[in-house]
Structure 1
Amino acid sequence: MNPIKIFTDSTSDLPRQWVEQYEIGIVPLYTVFGNESLRDGVDIIPEQLFKRVSREGRLPKTAAPSPADFIQYFSPYIDQGMDILYISLSSDLSSTYQNGRVAGGEFPEGRVHVVDSKNLSCGIGLLVMKAVKAVRNGLGIQEVVQVLEEIRPRIDTEFVIDTLEYLYKGGRCSGMQNLIGSLLKIRPVIKVIDGKMTPAYKVRGKREKAIDQMLSNALSQKDNMDLELVIVVHALAEEDALELQKRLQEQTGAEVALATAGCVICSHCGPQTIGIIYAKKS
């Protein structure tokens, strides 16, 4: 049985210490300003992205890694005799998954396994950490894939978006919706359902009210929550994230980690976005 190298992409928003500790390979997506393609987390970080959007008044486009990018990242490990397990951004949101599969087809059969997370951000990251644990427990690559496919539909990912501005600039809501939302202080809450970003509900009023509602939703599943790992992810909202982490730990006893959203997630959701991700028990 060949050793396994776990890969994911930059949209997994994994904390840097986990990436280094568990030697997880990261394939970056791109944020594209005009003719300038910047690798997420390598050439540009969220603080720089937000400053540039504010200065230029427009959002970047985002782009998947090409099959050639994947081949470049995978090849050194294949040459070392390792098998690749790549856990991708949802195939419903990007061509990243498909491009990873195309790249995998360029290697000998069975050497590259590509799993569609059907998720984004730390919803992917949670699956990656489950894969890390399974590999460290000695499971073979097919067994790890089976574990991930069993857990995948039980991942719960919910975000509070602080402003409609980025959804408007990205063409995901109209100018009138943006204006009314801003005037009424409407904060949309997004859930990932069947691999897609789905508006779940809207909260009118203070930001804290929306965060409290998201926390209440998570706590309603406390008895059904896998307490091994819960993740709070944020985009330039560290103070709120720390408070959310504390409250979740106190009220569930879970291991609650903090993560920061990368540029691809930030370019769609905007600053001050905050989310809770966990798995439900089988």
Structure 2
Amino acid sequence: MGRIKIFADSTCDLPSSWIQDYDIGIVPLYVTFDEETYRDGIDLETEQLYRKVTEQGRLPKTAAPSPNDFIQAFTPFINQGQQILYISLSSELSSTYQNALIASDEFHPGQVTVFDSLNLSTGIGLQVMKAVRAAADGKSVPEIIKLLDDVRPHVETEFVIDSLDYLYKGGRCSGLQNLVGSLLKIRPVIKVIDGKMTPAYKIRGPREKALNQLVQNVMTRVAEMDNDLIFITHSLADEDAVQLRAALQAGTGAKDIVISNAGCVISSHCGARTIGILYTKAIS
């Protein structure tokens, strides 16, 4: 068969220049305010999302692409004789993975392969880039899946959420927790464990303390890292991202430390000024 086309969805949060340069297919998720539905990253950008939340006083709903969305995205490349490898948002967080599987059944066996990243944001992006580079090296789909199976449990995804406000609006904490958290300046840290967003710990005090803790957590694991690529992914926290990159450049020796922006779906669940560091541990 022909060459392999790597697909992801809009929650992978890869820089747009990388998506273009590496010819990565993207299937957008949906963001809905009342009767208005937008494609993540196409019809709606993150800054627009926040303006709408401020105007309406509530969060949007988010939705997975339908099986037909995947079929329409994959078909042109299948018709060109290419194989599709789609790396999805965690099946523990969305029906995106399941809908892609349904779509894959509409094609001949082997034409479309769906892989569950069990992650989100650039935790997906790290796996996508491993697949892209493996495909460029001439690896087959089964070989790339074997690689991804090995990489997936070694992806470290850790975010600091700046405010409990979006967790409250999304029904993931109570009004009292939101009030107390705001008064005490409590910032939750979220990790992805077994494909789920898991509260790891809380940091009380100024934002700088939380950012320093993120960096220190990485520094304690430098010896375990694969030293290839680190993502700093954020939602409207540009200055902090630049500062984190400088700290990581000085302390990790990573080949590439890339700043990326969180899209609308991720931002709608976490809120403005959320920032995370994502990397892969070396495979022993």
Q: Give the shorter-chain TM-score range.
A: over 0.9
SS of residue paired to 1:171: coil
Matched residue type, 1:263: C
Q: CA deviation at 1:2?
A: 2.2
Structure 1 outlier segments of 4+, above 6 Å: none
CA-to-partner distance for each residue in 1:9-65, whole Å, 9 max, x for gaps? 000000011000010000000011112110000000000000110111000010000
**Aligned pairs, how many?**
282
Q: What residue is the counterpart of 2:251 in the other structure?
A: 251
**1:166 aligns to 2:166 (yes or no):** yes
CA distance in 1, matches of 2:68, 2:174: 37
Q: Which runs of 5+ in 2 are unaligned?
A: none
Query: Which residue is equivalent to 2:271?
Result: 270
Q: TM-score, length-normalised on structure 1?
A: 0.99
1:147 aligns with 2:147: yes
Tell me by how many angstroms 1:197 deviates: 0.1
Aligned to 1:82: 82
Q: How does 1:4-19 map to 2 (within 5 A)?
A: 4-19=4-19
Q: Please state how far the C-alpha of 1:214 moved relative to its aligned partner.
A: 1.1
2:179 match: 179
Hey, what's the Cα distance between the residues in 1 that align with 2:136 and 2:70?
A: 24
| Distance in 2, Cα, partners of 1:175 & 1:246 | 37
Q: Does 1:58 align with 2:26?
A: no
- Note if 1:207 corresponds to 2:207: yes
Give, in angstroms, the shift of residue 193 of structure 1.
Answer: 0.2
What whole-Å deviation, never above 9, does each CA across 1:105-155 have from its counterpart, x for those lacking one?
A: 100011100000000000000000000110011100110011011100000
Counterpart in the other structure of 1:226: 226
- In the aligned structure 2, how far is the partner of 1:227 from the partner of 1:233? 17
Residue aligning to 1:118: 118
1:228 match: secondary structure: strand
Cα separation, 2, equivalents of 1:256 and 1:249: 7
The residue aligned with 2:236 is 236
- Name the structure 2 match of 1:96: 96
Indicate the SS of the match to 1:272: coil
Gapped regions of structure 1 (runs ≥ 5): none
- Residue 107 of structure 2: SS of its match in structure 1? coil
Measure the CA separation in 2 of the matches of 1:37 and 1:139. Answer: 39
Question: How many Å separate the matches in 2 of 1:2 and 1:112?
Answer: 12
Q: Deviations over 1:75-114 (max 9, x none)?
A: 0000000000000000000000000000001000111000
Shift of 1:279: 0.3
